Chains A and B, each alone.
Chain A
Amino acid sequence: DAGVIQSPRHEVTEMGQEVTLRCKPISGHDYLFWYRQTMMRGLELLIYFNNNVPIDDSGMPEDRFSAKMPNASFSTLKIQPSEPRDSAVYFCASGRNYEQYFGPGTRLTVT
């Protein structure tokens, strides 16, 4: 398996634009997580899904953020409109049982 796949790896956009981050989890995993990492706050859980259903979205900063998982092999995290404070590395992770595997991350820069 190729592991968790995220795209794009880098994204630079202007404030106010819509940003969509994509994730393909490892086949057979029933959990999917979206995290955000910054120097100031470390790793923060934004939302996680179990069997494609959102279970806990209490970490989503505000209504500008939304996440979907239309099927077991794909998820998106959308930010609309984007703001400079959204600049961070966004990680997708998938898991099964006790194991969790992270993707390489998407580095987002909002100018």
Chain B
Amino acid sequence: KNQVEQSPQSLIILEGKNCTLQCNYTVSPFSNLRWYKQDTGRGPVSLTIMTFSENTKSNGRYTATLDADTKQSSLHITASQLSDSASYICVPSRGSTLGRLYFGRGTQLTVWP
């Protein structure tokens, strides 16, 4: 059973525009949620980590939101740049340690000039 659903599967936007990526999860009990960025040919890199009690967290032009009641998260990218072209992966966790992370399939974002 897939416990993480991300939408859209792929997205194309123009440079300078904003976009929002969505994540729904069913992981329970829920502890925290990460968003990773994965550039083509490289390993994923963590953008944000939120615990169940946090609603929002920012990292530069990236802002993640979390609603633990509805089990939904979003990643908002402001003023997109060409370097934002990558796959963005939502990763909820069941425990308080690193032991069990559940990876979504990712949203492939392409930013055009």
Contact = CB atoms under 8 A, between A and B. Distances in A.
Contacts of B104: 42
Nearest to A3: B43
B98 A98 contact: yes
A98 B43 contact: no
A12 B89 CA distance: 28
Which of B89, B101, B105 has the most CB atoms of chain A within a 10 A radius of its CB? B101
- Which of the four size classes fits the interface of chain B? 10 to 19
Interface in A70-111: 91, 93, 95, 97-105
A19 B10 CA distance: 34
Interface string A33-63: 1000000001111001010000110000000
Contact of B42 (A31, A33, A99, A105): A105
Interface in B86-113: 89, 97-101, 103-106
B43 A56 contact: no
Contacts of A104: 42-43
B43 A105 contact: yes
B101 A100 contact: yes
B43 A31 contact: no
B49 to A, nearest CB: 6
A4 B44 CA distance: 12
Given A42-B104, A42-B105, A43-B89, A91 B99 contact: no
A91 B43 contact: yes
Given A42-B103, A45-B101, A93 B43 contact: yes
Given A42-B105, A42-B106, A43-B89, A102 B99 contact: no
5 contacts: A42-B106, A45-B101, A48-B99, A50-B99, A98-B32
Given A45-B103, A98-B49, A104-B43, 6 more contacts: A42-B105, A48-B98, A91-B43, A99-B49, A103-B43, A104-B42
